[in-house]
Structure formats: C-alpha cells, structure tokens
Structure 1
C-alpha cells in the first residue's frame, strides 16, 4: 500500500507538468499574438499617418485631422473604462482596430468629408483599443503568474517589455523604409507623385497593402486571442438614464480620487509630451537642419530601434516597485541629459559629428520612451488591481491630451521654450513619482502568490 501511494505522484507527475506547460504556453502565445497584431496594425497606420502629414498639405487637412484625432482620443478616453468593461477587453480591441483601417481607407480618398469623420471615429477607437490592450495584457500576466506560481511583478514587466518592444519596432521598420524611399529629392518627388495618384484613386496598390496589413492585425485580434473577462454578476435588464449617468460619472472620476493616480498623472503627461516632442519638434528643429529631410527617416529609425531593444531590456529587469523606481529614474536622467544638451550646448556642426549628434539624441530619446512605456504600464497594472480599465483610461487621457497640446501649440513657440517646459514638467513629475514610491512601497507592494 505504501509503495503504491509513493508511486501515485510519479504516475501523475508528467500529466501535471504537461498541463503546466500548456497553461504557460497559452498565456505567452496570447502575448505573442497581441504584440504581432498591434505591430501589423501600426505598420499600416504609421505609413498612412506619414502619408497624411507629408502629402495632405492643402488647407492643412493632414495636420488638422491629426489634431482632431488626438482631441477626440482625449475626450473618448474619459469614458473608455466603462466601455471596455462592458464589451470585454478582447471585443474592445477588435472594435477599436476598425477605426485604424477606416482612417487608412479615408487617406485614399481625402477630403474634409472623409478625413474629419474618420479622425473623430478613430479617437473613439484608439481610446478603447489601448485601454483594452492594457487591461488584457495585465490580466494575462496575472493569470500566468498565478498559474505558474511566479512573481506577478516580474511577469507584468516581462509581458510589457515584449509588447512594447514589438510595438516600437514598427517605427524602426517604417522609418527605415522612409530613409531609403526619400534618399534624394528626385525620388522624393516621384514618391509624392505616386502618393497623389494613390490618393486620387487612380492606382492604389500601396493603399490596398496598408488596408491588408491593418485587416491582418484585426484578424489576429479577433480569431486567435482568448477572452479573459469573466462577468461574475448578471447585468440588470433595465437601468434608468439617470442611474447610467451617475454610474458613468463615478467610473470616470473614481481614479482621480485616488492619491496614487494623482501622483502618477504628471509622469503620464510627460510621457505623452516627450513623444510629441520627438515627432514634432526634434525632427523639425534638430534633424532637418543638420542632415536634411531625407535624414528624418534615418534618425527616427534609430529612435525606433533603441526604443524596441530597450523596451525588451526594461521589461526583463522589472520585478516590482523598487525596480520600476530605478528604471524610471534612469530613463528620466537620460532624457534630462538630452534636454539640457539641446538647451545649453547643442549647435549644428559640419562633418561627421553633424550627423552623429542628432542620431545619438535619437537613441537616447528612444531609450527614455521605452522606459516610460514599459514601466508606466507595469506600474498601473501592479497598483490598480481593482480598476485596471480606469487606470489605463487615465493613462491615455493624459498622454493624448499633452500630444494634442503640442500639435496645436508647437508651431507658435520656440524650441527653447518647449524644452524649458519639458524640463519643468519632468522635474515635477519625477518628484511626485518618487514621493509615491518612497512613501507607499510597503503599502502597495505586489503580492507574491
């Protein structure tokens, strides 16, 4: 009898090990599919956005559409939390991805009647796809940590590192293509001519390719990802309009009543500010004067490459709040060096250094962006277990708001003024962040299964 009892675990052990491996693979495969789907969608969207900003210059249709998009993104993000909670994170991402291929399609036939409605709808779509993404990835990490009996913070960091590393690679691929495509003025002229033909609808193989990539990403989200939202209670059949408004108001304002969120919001706002600075100011005031229009693609390819690699590295190094504190501090220091360099020391020089300096800045800015993307998402996932959707909604509200401000205000302020504002926001945001980490580490430390 005793021998049989000792042998029983040996018989079931392979089955248990096999089941554990299947569970581990199911979680990691969901992260792979999610990352690849977003890569495909944003490879298509990034190309369309570049087309819009470089070609749709008549009556500023392109830049106006982008401004409308980010304003819409900001306002819809306020209500994204209950929407994602109602739809489920997977369904929210599927619905949200439709806004991207609709926006791409609108670029093929641009006018005020197509671009403005598409930009408005995409603001809504972007709000729910990103809140859904943050919620889904965090839920997957928590399930993986629980099933595999590993530290939750480590898994959240690793999964965010993979996602943001894959996502950032779309900048490298897209901008590297732009570098070769816009290598000289003659080729640039031909490219713009082809773009106009594509927009006019006479010949649009490139446009069809963009739509196909976006739809491929959509299919990846819809067909492969597993649902992870479990509703514990039955929804009431009838809810009055007043009750619905009150419930929505509570969901929107609840995160703002949390001291932790109030202390993180300045850093979230800076993360959006530094992204918009790279897109709008760095390329215009640093790259173009130094290495020309054709060099923008190369500089942004360097930015994307360092963003992708450092996202993977930062995710691997994340294990909890102490590691997040150190990594964020390092990223903030790197970007501070770049900002002070631009403000105090930088001036165009001839020769090799004239090309090297902007590329070094691009690399350092990409490193900082990688840190803020991975660590802010990991931080929200660790601190806001009870309202994950609300936390990620606030992330997108403040990021998109600061991006919209830069798009609208940037043309009217100098580079030095913009850099001074960024330094001020960074100092305030890091002071608030460090206060939260130093005084709340024990109270908010993630639980180890």
Structure 2
C-alpha cells in the first residue's frame, strides 16, 4: 500500500506543478509581447521582459545554493507553497505595469523558483525508490509539460485576430492565469506527507537527502564536485540547456509575435507554446516512462538525437524569421517567405530536443552521482539558471541570427561534452565488470585447487 500511496503523491505533485506552471510558463511566453503593448499605450513605461526574465534566473541561480538547507529546516511542502506564492505575486503585478514593481517581482520569484524546484526534487525522492524513480520522474515530467497546453491554448484563442494586445485583453489573461495559479497553490497545500519507508524494502531505497548540511557545507561539497573533470564537462551541457531554455521559453515566442509577415501573429505566440509542449510531453513519455527500454541504447544516442533536432530547428528559424524579430514589431523580410507551419514545426522540434537533453541529464546525475545528488543537482540548476539569465541578458541587444549562432556553438560543445562523459562512464563500468569477472574466476580456480 505504501508504494500505491507514494505514486498517488507523485501524481498529486505533478498536478500541482501542472497548474502553477500553466500560469507561469504561459506568462513567460507572452511577457515580452504584453509589455511591448503596454509601452505602445504608455511611452513612459520601459519595462523589458528580457531583463525581467534575466533577473529571475540570476536570483534563482544564487538562491539554489541556499535552498537545500532551507528545505532541511522547513520541509519540501512549505518550500513549494512559498514558491507558488511568489509565482502568483509575479503574475498579478502585470495588472499594475510599473517598472520598479516588475523588477522587484522578478527578484522575489527568483527566490521562490529555487525553493519550489528544490522542494519538488526532495518530495519526489521521498516518494520514490530505485525501482520507481524512472517511472515517477517520467510521470511528473509529462504532467508538468502539459502546462504548456492549457494556458497557451487560452492565449491563442484570446489573442486571435489581434495585432496589439489591448488593456482589456491583458486584464482577462492575467486574472485567468492568476486563478489557475491559486488553484495550483491549493493543490500544493493539500499535498500529503511522504509515507514512511518500510525497512523491509531497503534494497530498493534511494539514498535520501537528509544530511542537514548548512549553506557553507553544501557549497563546499558542490565546489569540490564541480572541480572534477566529468562535472566540468557536464557543466558545458548544462549551460547549453539554460541558453536553449531561455530561447524557446521567452525569445522565440516574442520573435513570432513581432514578425508582421505572419497573419494573426499574436495568437501564434500561444500556439507556439502548445507545440513546444507537444514535443516536451512526447519526449518525456518516451525517455522517462519508457526509460527502462530506452536505457539499453545508452544516453549518448538520445542526446545526439536532441542535438540533431535542435540544429534542424535553428536552421529553419534562421530561414523563416527576420533578424530583427527579437526587438519589436518588424516588417523586415526573412530569407524565405515566413511560413506559419514551419514556425510551429520548429516549436515542436525545440520542445522534443529539450526533452532529449533534460531526461538524460536527470538520468546521468541520478545514476552516477546518487551518493552526492544534492551537490550534483545544485550545480546543474545553478549553471542552467546562470546560462538562462545570460540568454535573456543579451536578448535585447543581440539580433536573432547572432543568438542562433551562440546556440549552435554551445549545442555542439555541450553534446560533445556529454558524450565524452558517457563514454568515460561506460569504460569505467566495463572495467569494473571485467575486474569482477577476473576476481570471480580467480576465486573459483583457488577453490578448485583446494578441492584438489
């Protein structure tokens, strides 16, 4: 019964995050477009969506180091509830478009983001065993990515036929997303405690993160791990996933909304988010829920597949969108006539490729660094958050083709780095297996000699 209750808790957690991130990811996707519409009505307002998102990820990267100790003191459920409150606060500040309020709310949600994700990882671990971790992670990932559908579908319908998002439309969207966020908070508040582990099932237990280390000790562990060769290589992959996250979660949708060559371009922003979600869910289901079957191929072919998907997407975006599209409404022409179907296909490729990278990163960190997973995931979230902040930082100054160039270079480096680490792990595993076989054979021969 304990296993059944644990799985119900995982589904409960997934439903809570689906609601909260239906609200936040939708807002992040349309944030630049909404703020640009506010500026058209009020020239004194100069709040920048890219700067806001950069602040969020910068603050989150710093707070990631302190979050594990905070979880030890408060527990994962309180941490996730606090995180959800900051997401609600951030969304509702768009009802009062003030620059100082926008950037203050961005700082606040950065603290909440670190806590909600650290709490999520802790709660998921407490409700999982070695036998169920892959399944539980896959179920959670798929449920989380469904958040891309509901909010973006609403935005697609609400923005249909609009060139500029007027105040009435913005207000309806913000209140709706706030309501969804409140529903998510209620679900988080109702999360039950993780069931106590049956000691008879110790063989299937994961190493629980209950060390109660302080911030300094946690930082020392992370720094020591970061300085190892494999983690330095993996950090290049983490950086790429952060840049990619920044691009498809904030920049790409804005590019579509600003490209005047598209008919109904504002509704295309929401539709793009839906197609990114389709790719994410498909990838999460394939490589998460079916992880036991895909694991026999190894992690490197899946990451290489993600690289190919993203490379194709970047090339098509390069052809399909004008260079100035990240900055604001533009009549500039792309290399080809901008095609809506190609833009949405690229959204799908971005989501599917992202799932390829992230599911395998979780797999390698959870499998190889299981005894030091808190430090490993802290490095991952820190590096990814810094890279996402950098992406949003240069998004306002670097044209589309320059951003695509940066993404392509980091994709190559990140993929090569991951493959190098995976091959090293395979060689070490093969060597250990050979040594075990030799020792076993020697033991058998010694036993035969004694019997003779």
TM-score interval (norm. to shorter): 0.7 to 0.9
- 1:316 aligned onto 2:289: yes
Contact 2:161/2:267 (8 A) holds in 1: yes
Contact 2:30/2:270 (8 A) holds in 1: no
In the alignment, what sits opposite 1:121?
Answer: 108
Query: What is the aligned counterpart of 1:32 among 11, 17, 22?
Result: 11
Indicate how the Cα distance of structure 1 residues 229 and 118 shifts in structure 2: closer, same or farther if over 3 A, else same: farther
State how far apart, in whole Å, the 2-side matches of 1:83 and 1:425 are. Answer: 33
- Partner deviation per Cα, 1:27-60 (whole Å, 9 max, x = no partner): 2111111110001111222344456433334222
Aligned pairs (5 A) from 1:240-255: 246-255=216-225
Root-mean-square deviation (CA, aligned residues, Å) is 3.2
CA drift at 1:322: 4.9
In the alignment, what sits opposite 2:373?
Answer: 388
CA drift at 1:379: 2.5
Contact 2:69/2:212 (8 A) holds in 1: no
In the alignment, what sits opposite 1:336?
Answer: 311
Contact 1:290/1:355 (8 A) holds in 2: no
In the alignment, what sits opposite 1:262?
Answer: 232
Gaps (5+ residues) in structure 2?
40-44, 198-207, 322-333, 431-452
State how far apart, in whole Å, the 2-side matches of 1:334 and 1:314 are. Answer: 15
Which one has a larger percent helix, Structure 1 or Structure 2?
1
Indicate how the Cα distance of structure 1 residues 218 and 234 shifts in structure 2: closer, same or farther if over 3 A, else same: same
Indicate how the Cα distance of structure 1 residues 414 and 139 shifts in structure 2: closer, same or farther if over 3 A, else same: same
In the alignment, what sits opposite 2:168?
Answer: 194
Query: What is the aligned counterpart of 2:182 among 215, 234, 237?
Result: 215
Indicate how the Cα distance of structure 1 residues 128 and 164 shifts in structure 2: closer, same or farther if over 3 A, else same: same
Q: Answer with 281-290 or 133-142: which moved more.
A: 281-290
Partner SS for 2:270: helix
In the alignment, what sits opposite 2:273?
Answer: 300
State how far apart, in whole Å, the 1-side matches of 2:180 and 2:267 are. Answer: 25
Q: Answer with 397-406 or 208-217: which moved more.
A: 208-217
State how far apart, in whole Å, the 2-side matches of 1:323 and 1:120 are. Answer: 39
Superposed structure 1 runs of 4+ greater than 6 Å apart: 228-236
CA drift at 1:367: 0.8
Aligned residues: 396
In the alignment, what sits opposite 2:57?
Answer: 70
Contact 2:319/2:335 (8 A) holds in 1: no
CA drift at 1:348: 5.3
Contact 2:93/2:105 (8 A) holds in 1: yes
- The TM-score normalised by the length of structure 2 is 0.77
State how far apart, in whole Å, the 1-side matches of 2:107 and 2:123 are. Answer: 25
State how far apart, in whole Å, the 2-side matches of 1:207 and 1:311 are. Answer: 29
CA drift at 1:158: 2.5
Aligned pairs (5 A) from 1:11-30: 22-30=1-9
CA drift at 1:26: 1.4
In the alignment, what sits opposite 1:439?
Answer: 424
Query: What is the aligned counterpart of 1:180 among 138, 142, 157?
Result: 157
Query: What is the aligned counterpart of 1:109 among 96, 104, 113?
Result: 96
Gaps (5+ residues) in structure 1?
1-21, 146-151, 199-204, 237-243
CA drift at 1:227: 3.4
State how far apart, in whole Å, the 2-side matches of 1:225 and 1:444 are. Answer: 39
